[in-house]
Structure 1
Amino acid sequence: MSAHAMSHAIPHIRGRIRAGVPLAPLTWFRVGGPAEWLVRPADAEDLVTLLAGLAPGMPLTVLGAASNLIIRDGGLPGVTLRLGGGFAEVVVEADGIVAGAAALDVTVAEHAAAAGLAGLEFLSGIPGSIGGAVAMNAGAYGSEVKDVLDWAEVATPGGVQRLTAGELRLAYRHAALPPGAIVTRARFRARPGDAAPRMAEIRAAREATQPIRARTGGSTFKNPAGQKAWALIDAAGCRGLLRGGAQVSEKHCNFLLNTGTATAAELEALGEEVRARVLDHSGVSLEWEIKRLGVAA
């Protein structure tokens, strides 16, 4: 799309609009093509202006920490939205934390711990940002967002709405956001207590069991009811499986790795091969937890 055409498809905002921005450096896998347009609104009001003024049919992709995401090699058409510093504020209250959507989950957990608040330690084990954590009801180490969320604010073309946890109908890796709504901030309940010991346990467990220093996207597949995805993958003989530069982790086989030269296509194809082998071995059809977005090269 030309700059002239863009001016009619994307409204003028106070934030930044850039064309053809490489997205691979922003993702944890370090793969994928460019954004046709990368947009960073200045604040929630600016985001509402963007949503209200986008041309009908304009593709819109929200990019958070990009930790649980494969962007395909052809990149993302239309507008890729990335919330920046204006959405990263963390405010400590007497019995909870209010955090912007761009704040990292671990940062929120650390703020709570420093303030003598407990109950949010599990966030330190989730490699993502608050917006994504709310949108998918992220969970780890025995807790989920639904256990501690009071409310979330979301931007829509009509303005900003505040929705309670009940209104979001949080379920396993799901929140019932209004169509086209984007999380801008959220409030989490906490209680007085020493969070340091639990956070140390979580840190040690992640170090021991997950390839956290590799180019990975976290848990690849959702756990089927009553079962563990990693165990099904292991039983199907997929631990260490390779396809080009993509590999099933030897350390935790529900993690895919970019060993250094992988393409998005190789990672996605490896995931589909794992799904096929698990289905053949156990009859269970694994469901992707990692999002796969964009167009093939």
Structure 2
Amino acid sequence: MWRGLVQLSGRVGERPGQAGRYATERRSAITPQRGKRLGRSRFHFGQAGSQRGEGGAVSASEVDLGGLRGEIRRNEPMSAHNSWRAGGRADRYVRPADIQDLCDLLQRLPNDEPLLWVGLGSNLLVRDGGFAGTVIATQGVNAIEQVDHDRFRIEAGAACNKVARVTAKAGCVGAEFLAGIPGTMGGALAMNAGAFGGETWPLVSAVETIDRDGKIHRRDANAFRFGYRHVEGPMQAGFVACELTVPKGDTEAAQTTIRALLARRNATQPTGLPSCGSVFRNPEGDHAARLIEAAGLKGRCRGAACVSEKHANFIINTARVEDEAHANDIEDLVIEVRDTVLARFGVELRPEVRIVGERA
């Protein structure tokens, strides 16, 4: 899952066990109302944000960003802003102070400026050659507000684990699984992030999106379709906030569930080492970790990048110093794992991680 305020994916997979506007089959994206099936797409590493336009466009370096209240940095090392602790530099890194600051930023940037939206960077790798564009970090867009007894307005930069704690403390039950997602609500919305059997979009009643002109649009959740790690809906630049409906329940039980989920995560995942979380989505009827382990890839390394011995769907960065950590090694290992599983079992694993930028 990539976390933060993100571009909508444009594809949908499946949503288990839901009625109404949700798909009713475990591995299907059909709803009676829409009567349309969208299958799983092929594996690819996508480039984030908009592509550069042809000649005549205004360079972002020529744009005056004076007056913005957030942080602005040039030639920023993205290894400091992703959980793999590896990767190249970004031409420009901006952390807006709040939603209005974000709107002001987008209104000033050229429409063809490549953008990379980043939350906690827990599902992101920037190649060693860097990102030739503007990184927009969303940690300042992070308000959480209880607007009714069971409704919460959550901004895109709010950490998922904080959302779980706030809703549980308010006596609401159903968002505890968010404690197991090491990212922000923007990324959770963009890919229908899930953990421990829970998923984001069943809780969503409305969203706010932002376009490349810095305008905010509010939309009901039924304007979108979602499935397993996919969301499809009206295309804007990204999600800026959402409204979650979390039913009232037992506060103590919810907090106990959160503690149990975190203990389970710590027991089964290499949480103390730099990683992006799960690298691949689970294929239909199976688990990526099982296939990777069955292919004999546990412990396989490329440079400092290694397939975790604790959980085979994690690739960890074992470098002791930053200069030893190379995004190329991580990407090469991701590709090796994918190709080996495909050759052994005929199953093509699809990544959850976004790999962007240029190879060095």
In 2: Cα distance, 1:13 partner to 1:58 partner: 20
Shift of 1:267: 0.5
Match of 2:83 among 28, 33, 44: 28
Match of 2:295 among 232, 236, 258: 236
Q: Does 1:174 align with 2:227?
A: no
* Distance of aligned partners of 1:131 and 1:111 in 2 relative to their CA distance in 1, 3 Å threshold: same
Instruction: Find the counterpart in structure 1 of residue 97 from structure 2.
Output: 42
Instruction: Find the counterpart in structure 2 of residue 119 from structure 1.
Output: 174
Please list, as runs of the form range in 1=range in 2, the aligned pairs for 1:43-82 lying within 5 A after superposition.
43-82=98-137
* Distance of aligned partners of 1:121 and 1:77 in 2 relative to their CA distance in 1, 3 Å threshold: same
Q: Which runs of 4+ in 1 moved over 6 A?
A: none
Shift of 1:51: 2.4
Q: Which moved more, 1:254-263 or 1:193-202?
A: 193-202
Instruction: Find the counterpart in structure 2 of residue 152 from structure 1.
Output: 207
Report which of the two has the higher share of helix.
Answer: 1
> What are the ranges of 5 or more consecutive residues in structure 1 without an aligned counterpart?
none
Match of 1:218 among 260, 272, 277: 277
For each residue in 1:248-281, what CA deviation from the matched residue of structure 2 results, as whole angstroms up to 9, or x when unmatched? 0011000000001331100110011101110111
TM-score, normalising length from structure 2? 0.77
Instruction: Find the counterpart in structure 2 of residue 183 from structure 1.
Output: 239
In 2: Cα distance, 1:198 partner to 1:147 partner: 19
> What are the ranges of 5 or more consecutive residues in structure 2 without an aligned counterpart?
1-57
Q: Which moved more, 1:40-49 or 1:69-78?
A: 40-49
In 1: Cα distance, 2:185 partner to 2:64 partner: 26
Q: What amino acid does structure 1 have at the position aligned with 2:343? A: D
TM-score, normalising length from structure 1? 0.93
Preserved CA contact (<8 Å) 1:13 1:49: no
Q: What amino acid does structure 1 have at the position aligned with 2:199? A: E
Q: Does 1:250 align with 2:284?
A: no
* Distance of aligned partners of 1:12 and 1:169 in 2 relative to their CA distance in 1, 3 Å threshold: farther
Shift of 1:180: 4.5
Report which of the two has the higher share of strand.
Answer: 1
Q: What amino acid does structure 2 have at the position aligned with 1:89? A: A
**Structure 2 residue matching 1:135: 3-state secondary structure:** helix
The size of the alignment, in residue pairs, is: 293
In 2: Cα distance, 1:42 partner to 1:199 partner: 30
Q: What amino acid does structure 2 have at the position aligned with 1:282? A: F
In 1: Cα distance, 2:156 partner to 2:226 partner: 17
Q: What amino acid does structure 1 have at the position aligned with 2:217? A: Q
In 2: Cα distance, 1:49 partner to 1:13 partner: 9
For each residue in 1:180-229, what CA deviation from the matched residue of structure 2 results, as whole angstroms up to 9, or x when unmatched? 42211111111222302211221121011111111010010011111111
Instruction: Find the counterpart in structure 2 of residue 201 from structure 1.
Output: 260
Q: What amino acid does structure 1 have at the position aligned with 2:186? A: G
Alignment RMSD (CA, Å): 1.8
For each residue in 1:45-89, what CA deviation from the matched residue of structure 2 results, as whole angstroms up to 9, or x when unmatched? 33233323322421111111100111111111111111232x111
Q: What amino acid does structure 2 have at the position aligned with 1:54? A: L
In 2: Cα distance, 1:7 partner to 1:214 partner: 36
In 2: Cα distance, 1:42 partner to 1:200 partner: 32
Preserved CA contact (<8 Å) 1:24 1:32: yes
Q: Which moved more, 1:279-288 or 1:47-56?
A: 47-56
Shift of 1:158: 5.8
Identity of aligned residues (%): 40
Shift of 1:9: 4.1
Task: Return the structure number with greater relative CO, CA threshold 8 A, min gap 6.
Answer: 2
Preserved CA contact (<8 Å) 2:131 2:358: yes
Instruction: Find the counterpart in structure 2 of residue 274 from structure 1.
Output: 337
Instruction: Find the counterpart in structure 2 of residue 88 from structure 1.
Output: 142
